Amino acid sequence: MRKLLFPLLFLSGLPLCTGGRYRRFVEWGADLAPGSFCSSRQPSPCCSGRDDGCTVEILESLCYCDVFCNRTSNDCCPDYGTTCQGIAPPVIKAGCVFDGKEFKPSEVIRKNCNVCTCSQVQLFRYDWVCSNNSCLIDFERLNKSAQNLGWETANYTRFWNKTFTDGIKENVGIATESKAQNMSSLQNKIQSDLPSFFDCREKWKSWIHPVRDQRNCASSWAFSTVDVAADRLAIESKGLLTNQLSPQHLLSCDKRRKQRGCEGGSAEKAWWFIKRRGIMTEECYPYNVTQSNTAADRCLDNMDTCPNANSSTSKIVLYVTPPYRVGDSEEEIKTEIYKRGPVQATLQVSADLFMYRSGVYRHTGADLVQSKLAVRIIGWGEDIDNKGRVRKYWICLNSWGTKWGEEGAFRIVRGENHLDIEENILGVHADMKRSLSTHPSESIRDEGLINIYNQKQIVVIKRPRPTARP
């Protein structure tokens, strides 16, 4: 005998199943008031044994009042328990629970980057219904992608809460493909006796500028550029020109040719900008993210004074020569860093980097995104992993503040072009003559220029010609 199914099954979207009584458990409760089904049945409300005819109509279907309900109870009338067994119906509360706290229907909470609303999901059941964004910080996903990462993770407040899409949009920064691959690379005579560990910060100390924070702005292209420029200017001037330089100058003024400020840019174009127009100091043109995010943001480098009215120094503008590409072999990169200081590199990014705390980073399964992160490489080293193998790494400085990673730095696998980090290495020389001849400090100008013309301390290095101008 064919029978109709309990109507709640339709309501909860389950497939119609014919033949026999449906065994799937469906919760029922206060919404359908007991008392109006089995109790209204004539002549006898409850039937003994299995009696497939012992039914009552309910929402255009049928429910049962036979003793079979004692076993299955899923296709029975809501009031079977109360009418035929004398049991009180379950009390169903309308609401949801989170972290031990109760919430009313339509109340909203946040779970990481998702918004959840307490909703009725079945006739008698309430639960959280959440948006389905992929979050930037997601340890579950990270755990799935690797048994043993080989590096330590952390949960950062600044990244928590963010969707993956927003996180990439706000914190990365190389938006346009660099033409650097087509530049001729500098022929570095490879130095064979390089140490197994090297850190520019030990050799050049305060001439290597500290890690900064690009905040919610995809400006790694600007930060890595001005910081490498500042490091190189300090090294080549032997400490005469040590100013921290201004990424804001690039964000506000280097806006043509698809340079998009906080939405990303090209490091190579930034280098050409500094070569042509020079770069102001951080003190003179301080970082101001909110400003550079708006269309109203004006370039303020045409005046004789600093955009920062409170600047204690007069306007200093420093220059570099055209950037050059460093060959992509590990030895060439090491030689370059060892001889001349930090280089600029770009790498592919995925969500796992945002969870990096310490150790030698190696990318795990998580998806890579199109845009790249630009960083400074300032050294290298090696350590032993937990399987006893030697692990070579680069030491890089990021621009996500000093709370991220190893005080703002990270170490990444070396010698495998991991995430393309070794294939787009740029170096640059200070343009000492131009930087000094326009310098507002007479003593610095004199000392520097005397050094250049005596060719005693500062050697003007013949620079390579790039093949194409951007």
CB count within 10 Å of CB 259 equals 21
Nearest to 372 by CA among 172, 154, 196, 139: 172
Only segment of 14-22, 73-81, 137-145, 325-333 that touches ligand NAG (CB under 6 A): 137-145
CA distance 178 to 182: 9
Q: State the minimum distance, in angstroms, from the CB of residue 1 to ligand NAG.
A: 22
Q: State the minimum distance, in angstroms, from the CB of residue 407 to ligand NAG.
A: 19
Closer residue to ligand NAG (CB): 134 or 293:
134
Instruction: With beta carbons less than 8 A apart as the criterion, state whether 92 and 29 touch.
Output: yes
Instruction: Output the six-digit token pair for 64.
Output: 């049962």
Is 143 an interacting residue with respect to ligand NAG (CB under 6 A)? yes
Closer residue to ligand NAG (CB): 183 or 452:
183
Instruction: With beta carbons less than 8 A apart as the criterion, state whether 430 and 238 touch.
Output: no
* DSSP state letter for 281: B
Only segment of 29-37, 179-187, 231-239, 251-259 that touches ligand NAG (CB under 6 A): 179-187
Q: State the minimum distance, in angstroms, from the CB of residue 70 to ligand NAG.
A: 4
Is 163 an interacting residue with respect to ligand NAG (CB under 6 A)? no
Is 160 an interacting residue with respect to ligand NAG (CB under 6 A)? yes
Tell which one of 42, 157, 443, 455 touches ligand NAG (CB under 6 A): 157
Sign of the dihedral defined by the CA atoms of residues 96, 101, 106, 110, in that order: negative
Is 438 an interacting residue with respect to ligand NAG (CB under 6 A)? no
Query: CB neighbours of 349 closer than 8 A, spacing ≥ 6?
Result: 168, 172, 368, 369, 371, 372, 373, 419
Only segment of 157-165, 385-393, 440-448, 450-458 that touches ligand NAG (CB under 6 A): 157-165
| Helix ranges (DSSP H) in 127-212 | 139-145, 164-171, 200-204
Q: For residues 64-83, which are near ligand NAG according to CB under 6 A?
A: 67, 70
* Pattern 312-331, ligand NAG, x by CB under 6 A: --------------------
Q: State the minimum distance, in angstroms, from the CB of residue 95 to ligand NAG.
A: 22
Tell which one of 36, 40, 106, 182 touches ligand NAG (CB under 6 A): 182
Tell which one of 13, 43, 99, 140 touches ligand NAG (CB under 6 A): 140
Q: State the minimum distance, in angstroms, from the CB of residue 434 to ligand NAG.
A: 28
Q: State the minimum distance, in angstroms, from the CB of residue 76 to ligand NAG.
A: 12
Tell which one of 73, 161, 185, 358 touches ligand NAG (CB under 6 A): 161
CA distances from 201 to 190, 344, 433 (A): 22, 15, 26
Instruction: With beta carbons less than 8 A apart as the criterion, state whether 63 and 78 touch.
Output: yes
CA distance 470 to 467: 10
Only segment of 135-143, 189-197, 248-256, 350-358 that touches ligand NAG (CB under 6 A): 135-143
| Cα angle for residues 152, 171, 368 (degrees, 5° grid) | 65
CA distance 395 to 388: 21
Is 129 an interacting residue with respect to ligand NAG (CB under 6 A)? no
Is 98 an interacting residue with respect to ligand NAG (CB under 6 A)? no
Q: Under DSSP, is residue 447 helix (H, G, I), strand (E, B) or coil?
A: helix
Q: State the minimum distance, in angstroms, from the CB of residue 130 to ligand NAG.
A: 8
Tell which one of 57, 152, 177, 367 touches ligand NAG (CB under 6 A): 177
Is 179 an interacting residue with respect to ligand NAG (CB under 6 A)? yes
| Cα angle for residues 410, 134, 156 (degrees, 5° grid) | 35
CA distance 400 to 158: 10
Only segment of 99-107, 132-140, 192-200, 338-346 that touches ligand NAG (CB under 6 A): 132-140
* Burial grade of 76 (CB within 10 A; 0-12, 13-18, 19 or more): buried
State the number of binding residues for ligand NAG (CB under 6 A).
Answer: 17
Closer residue to ligand NAG (CB): 193 or 304:
304
Listing DSSP states for 313-326 in one string gives S---EE-B---EEE
Q: For residues 276-315, which are near ligand NAG according to CB under 6 A?
A: 309-310
Closer residue to ligand NAG (CB): 272 or 380:
272
CA distance 27 to 125: 8
- Footprint on this chain of ligand NAG (rule: CB under 6 A): 67, 70, 110, 132, 139-140, 143, 155, 157, 160-161, 177, 179, 181-182, 309-310
